[in-house]
Amino acid sequence: MAFLVSGTLRMAAQIADARDSLGRKGKYNLQGPRVALTLSSPEVSASTIAVLEDVFQTLGFESCQRREASVQDFLRELTGFREQLDAHGGPMGCALVALVAPRGQLRQPQQLVRELSRCGALQGCPKVFLLLSSTSGGAPKPGAFLTSLGELCGRCPHWSLLQLLTEVFCRTAKESSGATYCPVLRSSLRGALCLGDVEPWKPKPEPCPSAQYDLSGARAALFLAVIRDRPGAQHDVKALGDLCQALGFETTLRTDPTAQAFQEELAQFREQLDTHRDPVSCALVALMAHGGPQGQLLGADGQEVQPEALVQELNCCGALRGCPKIFLLQACRGGHRDAGMGPKARPWFWRWLQAPPAIPSHADILQIDVDAQGSSSRGSTPGNSDILMVYAATEGCIAYRDEKKGSDFIQTLVEVLRTDPGGDLLELLTEVNRQVCELDVLGPDCDERRKACLEIYSSLRRRLCLQV
């Protein structure tokens, strides 16, 4: 009995210490083993696999496994990998899974992501997924991406993985048919992830100015907000509007747009930017509405509009070519209420240990789609460059909003940006997610506490700082 209690206390202390490190530092503490797995179909070339294994070694992964299987068997192989990690008997530091298949065959990567998210040994630890495929047309080549990533990891071990990926995106983006295509990352990380040998909390030198977007031109923002039947939304509009004004954005607000008006307002916004008298350096679009079961936005008339269509509308803007385009989406993406993940025990036991709250089920994920142009998974964003999209909820989940204060996402975002307006926006958004993930939500239609988690899509090719 004493041994059982001792083991339970030791496990609880390890979990609490890992989470406390993330909470205090805002960075992951990778003290446990790093494990990597490559799942590849038989058609994948040996040269791609060799380059991939070199990158794993550069990133410091001690255990690297490779399993060859058909794409249909990837889920079964990943389930075996998860069970192997859970049987290890101790917490892990980080996991990296590379999924390599011919272009267009990997249609449901989120099913694989969810499978590894169930791993108890990886609870609270970063899980990185790298989606690679044979390419054609304008998409970046996996070999160029991997070579750049490995070289940068060895040369800049003090950079976070998001910083490294932004630089790699800049190097590997490719022009095709008048557009710039580059990889896309999809993140729900709660802190900086540094895979180099340098301690992640040590000071790091700033990247050179040439690696930063030039925001010396005009800045424009468009708010499309459904206020009707969304109590508290007015607080988000006010807080975000004040922030944008402080950051130098010329803001246009449209309330209660219909589904058709969403599209028309974006088209008009694009035309205004194309005819702007001065050069435009940045655009921000905030979309606030109810959401449909498949991630659609619902206009004030109850009709649906796809957010991807709105992104594509602004992406056609010639004045914004090569400039950052930011989209903030405060809307549900489904009806799932996430109870979070955490050790099961009586509340008094965890209060006595002063353990942090549960972690959202979809947190701590970083997915990199090297061939975003050819991605066929539902909800994927276009492979065009210089786009940053931030969702208030992960795929399939509810986005919460307080009737008296506004949404956790918008209010936390405003607070973090006011505190450090000159910081790297990707890193600031990761901090926003960390704070949102720590909150417990008690909704009006649910008696149990729930968790929320942001999802960030980025094809940015430079650091984005809204205030110099």
Tell me the residue ranges of DSSP E strands in 194-248: 218-225
Instruction: Give the CA-trace dihedral at 361, 359, 26, 199, to 10 degrees.
Output: -80
- Residue 339 corresponds to which tokens in the numbers above? 């109870």
Q: Which residues are catalytic?
A: 290, 332
- d(CA 289, CA 204) in angstroms, rounded, equals 40
**How many CB atoms neighbour CB 21 within 10 A?**
18
69: left (phi over 0), alpha (psi -120 to 50) or beta: beta
- d(CA 140, CA 373) in angstroms, rounded, equals 9
CB 414 within 8 A of CB 240: yes
Could you tell me the CA-to-CA distances from 171 to 140, 152, 182, 195, 460 in Å, in that order? 10, 11, 9, 20, 12
- d(CA 226, CA 399) in angstroms, rounded, equals 14
Helix, strand or coil, per DSSP, at residue 244: helix
CB 393 within 8 A of CB 332: yes
